[in-house]
Structure 1
Amino acid sequence: METRRLRLLVELSRLGSMRAVADAVGTTTSTVSQQLAVLAREMGTALIEPDGRRVRLTPAGRRLTEHAVTILAAVETARLDLAPGAEPNGTLRVAGFASAVRAHLLPIVTDLSAGHPRLRVLVREHEPAEALHLLATDEADLALTYDYNLAPADPDPAVHTITLWTAPWGLGVPAPADVPEAADALEVFARFRTHDWIVNSRNTADERVIRTLASMAGFTPRVTHQADSLDLVQGMITAGLGVGLLPVGAPTVPEVRLLPLTGPRVVMRAYAVARHGRLAWPPLTLVTGLLARRTADAAPDAPAPPP
Structure 2
Amino acid sequence: METRRLELLVALARLGSMHEVADEMGVTTSTVSQQIAALARETGTALLEPVGRRVRLTPAGRRLADHGVTILAAVEAARSDLDPEAEPAGTVRVSGFATAIRRSLLPLLASLEGTQVRMLIAEHEPGEALDLLAEDAIDLALVYDYALAPRIFEDRFEVVPLWTTRWGLGVPAGSAAGGLATVATVDRYRDHDWIVNSRNDADEKVVAALAAHAGFTPRIAHRADSLDLVQDLVAAGLGVGLLAEGVPERAGVRLLPLRGPDVLLRAFAVVVRGRAAWAPLALVVGRLSRTGNVIGQ
Under a length normalisation based on structure 1, what TM-score does the superposition of the two structures give? 0.82
Superposition map of 1:103-122 within 5 A: 103-113=103-113, 115-116=114-115, 118-122=116-120
The residue aligned with 1:94 is: 94
- The letter of the residue matching 1:99 is T
Residue 103 of structure 1: SS of its match in structure 2?
A: helix
The residue aligned with 2:264 is: 267
Superposition map of 1:198-237 within 5 A: 198-237=195-234
Residue 7 of structure 1: SS of its match in structure 2?
A: helix
Alignment partners' CA distance in 1, 2:82 and 2:107: 25
The residue aligned with 2:67 is: 67
* Cα drift, residue 67 of structure 1: 2.4
The residue aligned with 1:42 is: 42
User: Which consecutive unaligned segments of at least 5 residues does structure 2 have?
Assistant: none
User: Quick check: 2:108–2:287 contact (8 Å CA) kept in 1?
Assistant: yes
Alignment partners' CA distance in 2, 1:247 and 1:188: 16
Residue 176 of structure 2: SS of its match in structure 1?
A: coil
- The letter of the residue matching 1:237 is V
Equivalent of 2:241, from 227, 240, 244? 244
The residue aligned with 1:158 is: 156
- Inter-CA distance 33–110: structure 2 relative to 1 (3 Å threshold): same
Residue 128 of structure 2: SS of its match in structure 1?
A: helix
* Cα drift, residue 207 of structure 1: 0.5
Alignment partners' CA distance in 2, 1:76 and 1:256: 59
User: Quick check: 1:8–1:21 contact (8 Å CA) kept in 2?
Assistant: no
User: Which consecutive unaligned segments of at least 5 residues does structure 1 have?
Assistant: none
* Cα drift, residue 48 of structure 1: 4.6
* Cα drift, residue 149 of structure 1: 0.9
User: Quick check: 1:197–1:243 contact (8 Å CA) kept in 2?
Assistant: yes
* Cα drift, residue 88 of structure 1: 4.1
Equivalent of 1:148, from 132, 141, 146? 146
* Cα drift, residue 133 of structure 1: 2.1
Equivalent of 1:276, from 273, 277, 281? 273
How far does the alpha carbon of each residue in 1:84-108 deviate from its partner, in whole angstroms, 9 at most, with x for none?
3444444332221111212222122
The residue aligned with 1:178 is: 176
User: Quick check: 1:185–1:265 contact (8 Å CA) kept in 2?
Assistant: yes
* Cα drift, residue 233 of structure 1: 1.1
* Cα drift, residue 204 of structure 1: 0.8
Alignment partners' CA distance in 2, 1:197 and 1:219: 13
- Equivalenced residue count is 294
User: Quick check: 2:172–2:235 contact (8 Å CA) kept in 1?
Assistant: yes
Alignment partners' CA distance in 2, 1:122 and 1:67: 31
Alignment partners' CA distance in 1, 2:73 and 2:184: 69
The residue aligned with 1:255 is: 252
- Inter-CA distance 276–12: structure 2 relative to 1 (3 Å threshold): farther
Residue 263 of structure 1: SS of its match in structure 2?
A: coil
The residue aligned with 1:196 is: 193
Alignment partners' CA distance in 1, 2:35 and 2:261: 68
* Cα drift, residue 132 of structure 1: 1.9
- Inter-CA distance 121–180: structure 2 relative to 1 (3 Å threshold): closer
- Inter-CA distance 17–55: structure 2 relative to 1 (3 Å threshold): farther
Residue 228 of structure 2: SS of its match in structure 1?
A: helix
Alignment partners' CA distance in 2, 1:239 and 1:55: 91
Alignment partners' CA distance in 2, 1:193 and 1:103: 33
Under a length normalisation based on structure 2, what TM-score does the superposition of the two structures give? 0.84
* Cα drift, residue 81 of structure 1: 4.0
The residue aligned with 2:127 is: 129
- Inter-CA distance 33–156: structure 2 relative to 1 (3 Å threshold): farther
* Cα drift, residue 203 of structure 1: 0.8
The residue aligned with 2:5 is: 5
Alignment partners' CA distance in 1, 2:262 and 2:136: 36
How far does the alpha carbon of each residue in 1:68-91 deviate from its partner, in whole angstroms, 9 at most, with x for none?
233212221332244334444443
Identity across aligned pairs (percent)?
57
